[in-house]
Each structure stands twice: as C-alpha cells, then as structure tokens.
Amino acid sequence: MRSPARGLYVTGTDTGVGKTVASVALLQALRAAGCTAAGMKPVASGCERTEAGWRNDDALALQAASAPSQDYDTHNPYALPAATAPQLAARRAGVAVQPPVIESAYARLRDTADVVVVEGVGGWLAPLADELEQAQLVRSLGLPVVLVVGLRLGCLNHARLSARAIVEDGARLLGWIGSACDPDFDDVEDYRALLQSSLPVPCLGWLARGCPPQSPSAQLSVAVLLDQLSAGVEVHSLPYTG
C-alpha cells in the first residue's frame, strides 16, 4: 500500500449534514485498511461542562474513534460552551482562537498517526473564528478536502457551490460523501445520480440515515480515498460537468 498523505479536512454543504458521522466512518475505514488514524475538531461550539472541563460530543466521538488517541485538548483545542456559530461562541467565552495552537495540536496527532482526519465547522464558508477562514487553516496545514453532501432538497446547488468555492479558494478537493440527513427526503436515489454526474471528483461512499457517530453504518471506498491521497492530483485539472 502506498503511503497516504498525512491528513485530510472534512467540510460539509451545511451544518447538520453528517460531518462527524463521516469523519468517524473515515477513521474506522482507514484503520480497517491498516492505517493508524486520528480525528481532530479544531474548534467546537456547543460544549457541556464536565469534571475534566468543557467537552463536545462530536470531538469526543472523534477521539474515541482514533487509534492512537491523545488527550482531549489535542483532539479539540478550542471547546466553546455556546451552541452557536464559532465566532459568536468564542466572543461570548472571551476566547481568541489562535492558528498556531491548532497547528501545534495537529502536529502532535500527525506525529503518531498515518492519517489525521480534521473536521471543520458548518459549511465551507463558515468562519472558524474572527479573521480565520477554514480555507486559511486548510492551506496552512496543507490538507486536501472531503465534502459531505447532505442529501435533501437543494443539495445539488449547495454541493456544486461548495465544490466550486473549495477549488477557487485554492484547496484540493479529494472527493465527496453522500449523507442521508433528511428522513423526509424521498428522492435520494435520483439525487445520487445527479450529484455523481455534476461533481468533479469521486464519490467516496454513502452514510446511512439516522446513524450515530459512535457506530456509523457507511460504505466508504477507502481504496479510492487512499489513491486520491497518494496521487497528488490537483482538482483544478478536473472539469465541471452538468
């Protein structure tokens, strides 16, 4: 097996589309393929106070799916109490999100794992903090991007806009994952075909409806993912279709 790139960044077409489920599924699939893999949520808003400090459910799921795992603060450097946009949550907590802190935590994970799966916030254009866009962090860490597409009405537009924005921001788009996030959406199969013909990168798999992050039921093409991680193909060379 070729040595993969050291990390990837998971973003979504919106909030609540299944980024954490996808990230955990990726970690589990990578581990099943023989890689050591660790998950990271650099900035998490919506945390509960515990005896050990503020904790976020998504970050805990990523930590639990990591092998090897490290201390919580490495997997989630910024745990913000308020369940709102990270910018607002940081202001309310009086916290200034500093990129070097995130970069240092990422480096610690990278030193012990073949692949680090970094989960973003909301959709691609949701800032991580005041004056910190997700694209900036992706560039500073040198990470390719996986897009999670929430399968619901409007997802074709959101997916194409997100893919285009990722490319225009200078990031490398590896592939996308379909997530059945809307239990009332009946056109999943038709939209699968539309998305596959419209997005410029491979589909890595599908996430089942209502699957918890701790035990995702997903079929992800790890072979395709590892090929993409190893190939270094720039998405700029792939034309849009449809």
Q: Which residues are catalytic?
A: 41
For 122, phi then psi, to 5°, come to 50, -140
Tokens of 28: 């589990």
Tokens 């490495």, located at residue: 74
**Three-state DSSP class for residue 141:** helix
Q: How far apart are CA 117 and CA 128, in angstroms?
A: 17
Cβ neighbours, 10 Å, residue 91: 16
Between CA 207 and CA 175 the distance in angstroms is: 14
Helices 19-32, 222-231: crossing angle, 10 deg rounding:
90
Q: How far apart are alpha carbons 59 and 191 in whole angstroms?
A: 30
What is the SS3 assignment for 35?
A: coil
Q: CA dist 226 to 5, 31, 148, 204, Å? A: 8, 12, 17, 10
